[in-house]
Structure 1
Amino acid sequence: MWFLNMILYFSIYSFFGWICEVIYCSIPAKKFINRGFLKGPVCPVYGFGAMFVIYIMKWINIKSTILVFIFGGLIASIIEFIADILLEYVFHTRLWNYSDRKFNIKGRVCLLNSTLFAVLSVILIKIVHPFVLDIVVRLSSITIIIISSLCVILFLIDLVLTVREVINLNITLKNMNILEEIKKELKLKNHKRFIEAFPQLEHKKYMKELKKLKELIKESMKNNKKV
């Protein structure tokens, strides 16, 4: 049952993280942006971050708000750093780059985001998790099994679809010299969500081609507005 509870907490905090990312990115853009690596309303990196923060704090018995702030920000930043390295290694892609911000480490993490993660860690430990924990302990075993199973199934389906989307993006970038084919509206729409969600997206192999694809999508969006 402990493992099923972990899945439940992971799903809940992945969803909360997605909400935070959508708000953070949609307000400046003045439009809704599905800011997530996956297609669904989840940001797994927040789920992993929350789980590590919760259980490490419990393991070393940290209760001081200041220490939660410091260690929470540190833990979340380490996870963000590792996640960026893994994405670059597996998909040859970087979804964010903080090189233009002060006090960044190789563009993978920066002081501003680490501070925001630290604040979220305090809110998580002091307010959100006790509330979520109180709700989960009231659920019956069968309810937890059903909800956790559904979360796993939906997550795996979403992961497969997203991986396919990233692979298709790599194929598109590899064949960017065939511009007449790429300009087809359907082809552009296939990558619009991903490009729009991560405007700082970088590719290890096809940076020049990615830049061209961004320009084509931007041009396509302008033409659609004129129609």
Structure 2
Amino acid sequence: MIYAFLGWCLEVSYHVVKSKKFINRGFLNGPVCPIYGVGMVILIFFLTPLSNNFLLLFIGSVLLTSMLEFITGFVLEKIFHDKWWNYSQEPFNIKGYICLTFSIAWGLGAILILNIVHPMITVLVSFLQNKIGLLLLILVSGCFIADFIITVSGILEIKKKLKILEEIAENLQSYSEDVGEYIYKGMTLAIKTKENIKTKLDEQKLEIEDNFNDSKQKIEELKMKYESIKKEKSFVHKRLEEAFPNIKKKLDKIDHHKND
């Protein structure tokens, strides 16, 4: 839990420097990044015996953190059909999940943490080996679980909303094509009328006009429904859009499809 919080502080600080504004970059709503907590527990468990051998510690840290980041990114994308981070623009990346730059940074960071930070945290935790510490752990864990449930529910709601918007966009495109077809038929009838071809042109014209107006009405209704759904954003939706731009890009892509 401590390292999940420190990891969140690191992520926030990095993006404050990079984007000049505060962004809660955590997967959860609270001030924690679980991947950092899990990552540090793995490093402490496997690499503590190597803490005095900087070269092996560095290599082991690079390999373990890269594996964790790759697996986490892969699993999140399979579950939610979205990349939560994307290193595709970075050199020497693997499927956008990991890249050489950050893998090296994690390796150097592990040397610093295991030799300087972790001994201090060990002392802190040793003071909490009592009922107060257990109560604190239960309280924090309860908040963590509740936050996880709220966040996952919010993500599933976002997925549902995006699916609805995609369907509306497809229907809008279909009705727009119908309108274009009715305009073409109307122009064709006008030409035939001009040439005095004797057919049931009036009836056909009336039918085309009715279909045209009906399609236009449906388009307006769908547009209003689309904008209404688009504006309805929960706190989780707004936060995740800001923290993970890929979610916003997906909505922009649907917007583009709708406008086409």
Is 1:113–2:102 an aligned residue pair?
Answer: yes
Is 1:34–2:81 an aligned residue pair?
Answer: no
Calculate the TM-score normalised by the size of structure 2. 0.71
Say how many residue pairs are matched: 198
Q: Given that residues 18 and 35 in structure 1 are in contact (C-alpha distance below 8 angstroms), is that contact kept between their aligned partners in structure 2?
A: yes
Q: Which residue of 2 aligns with 1:156?
A: 145
Shift of 1:139: 2.6
Match of 2:67 among 67, 75, 78: 78
Shift of 1:154: 0.6
- After TM superposition, the structure 1 = structure 2 runs for residues 136-155 of structure 1, keeping only pairs within 5 Å, are 136-155=125-144
- After TM superposition, the structure 1 = structure 2 runs for residues 193-204 of structure 1, keeping only pairs within 5 Å, are 193-201=239-247
Q: Could you say if the C-alpha distance between residues 198 and 209 of structure 1 is closer, same or farther in structure 2, counting changes exceeding 3 Å?
A: closer
Q: Which residue of 1 aligns with 2:197?
A: none
Is 1:179–2:221 an aligned residue pair?
Answer: no
Determine the C-alpha separation between the residues in 2 that align with 1:173 and 1:144. Answer: 43
Q: Could you say if the C-alpha distance between residues 211 and 20 of structure 1 is closer, same or farther in structure 2, counting changes exceeding 3 Å?
A: farther
1:137-194 deviation line (CA, Å, top 9, x unaligned)? 123421221111012101100000100110111011111134222343x427652210
| Matched residue type, 1:150 | L
Larger RCO: Structure 1 or Structure 2 (Cα < 8 Å, ≥ 6 residues apart)? 1
Shift of 1:40: 0.3
Q: Secondary structure at the match of 1:94?
A: coil
- Larger helix fraction of residues: 2
Unaligned runs of 5+ in 1: 1-10, 215-227
Q: Given that residues 58 and 107 in structure 2 are in contact (C-alpha distance below 8 angstroms), is that contact kept between their aligned partners in structure 1?
A: yes
Shift of 1:63: 2.5
Q: Given that residues 151 and 236 in structure 2 are in contact (C-alpha distance below 8 angstroms), is that contact kept between their aligned partners in structure 1?
A: no
Q: Which residue of 2 aligns with 1:88?
A: 77
Q: Which residue of 2 aligns with 1:222?
A: none
Is 1:46–2:36 an aligned residue pair?
Answer: yes
Is 1:18–2:60 an aligned residue pair?
Answer: no
% identical aligned pairs: 39
Unaligned runs of 5+ in 2: 169-224
| Matched residue type, 1:25 | H
Shift of 1:210: 5.6
Q: Given that residues 96 and 201 in structure 1 are in contact (C-alpha distance below 8 angstroms), is that contact kept between their aligned partners in structure 2?
A: no
